Amino acid sequence: MDTNRSGVVIRRGRPAGPRAIGLVCAVAAAGALLSGCGSSGSDTASPQKSAAPSRAVPATAASPSGSLNADQAQRKALVPKAKVDYGQALKAAIAAVPSSEAIAAELKGTPASPYWDTVVATTDGTAYAVRVDAVSGKAQKPQPQSDDPDDKQELAARLGKATVTAQQAAQTATEKTKGTVTTIELGDADHGNDTVAWTVGVVTTDDWNETTYEIDATTRKVLWMNIDQD
């Protein structure tokens, strides 16, 4: 692990993602991931990992053959079918759980039935999973998550530290890489030091690659970025 002169972490290999308390991963286990809790794509190749750029990342040129790998093909099939974006999905989830805040959203499902897996939580650390139809925007009945006191205390502390909203984090990411937000999650930063961070995945629709950013949830500083071309 290295750092550049600006203090941005530069690491090699597939990003680990935020060390959340397992809420989002529990939700994501029900279907195929577009990106997020675990690694996505093939494990035989490592994506590019570098310091966050100061300007928007240009799209990577398509392969000479014009072919897409499995992950790119999945994104190409699914992303355009979602008529409801991450922000609308989170708004619907928050409306379903009064006095809650956004924790995570991930686009999943099939082209015929896309949906958002979202997680919201109240200030005491009580979390709820809410599935939102990515075409109609309709939210299903909230499903309570872990009742473990330690989990709730940890999540409440994380919410108390985070001053950057999901929408602000997504805006920071899309200012760097123009594309569609397909996953966003609040968790602990990879480098530790009690830093709370948002992890945001952005898919570029000209090459169907995904760029992931870790963004400090108190300063909006980009801590690292990764381009997944697998």
Residue 96 Ramachandran class (φ > 0 left, ψ -120 to 50 alpha, else beta): alpha
SS (H, E, C) 71-103: HHHHHHHHHHHCCCCHHHHHHHHHHHCCCEEEE
Structure pTM? 0.76
- Per-residue pLDDT, 229: 65
Residue 169, classed as helix, strand or coil, is: helix
pLDDT in tens, 57-100: 544 444 434 689 999 999 999 999 999 999 999 999 999 999 99
Span 199-204, average pLDDT: 98
Sign of CA dihedral 160, 130, 149, 25: negative
- Percent above pLDDT 90 for the chain: 66
pLDDT in tens, 29-41: 433 334 433 333 3
- Per-residue pLDDT, 66: 64
Mention every residue, 6+ apart, whose C-beta is less than 8 A from residue 158.
186, 187, 188, 196
pLDDT in tens, 159-200: 999 999 999 999 999 999 999 999 999 999 987 678 999 999
- Mean per-residue pLDDT over the chain, rounded: 80
Q: Which helix (H) or strand (E) holds 167?
A: helix 166-176
Taking the C-alpha atoms of residue 57 and residue 55, their distance in angstroms, rounded to an integer, is 6
pLDDT in tens, 106-116: 999 999 999 99
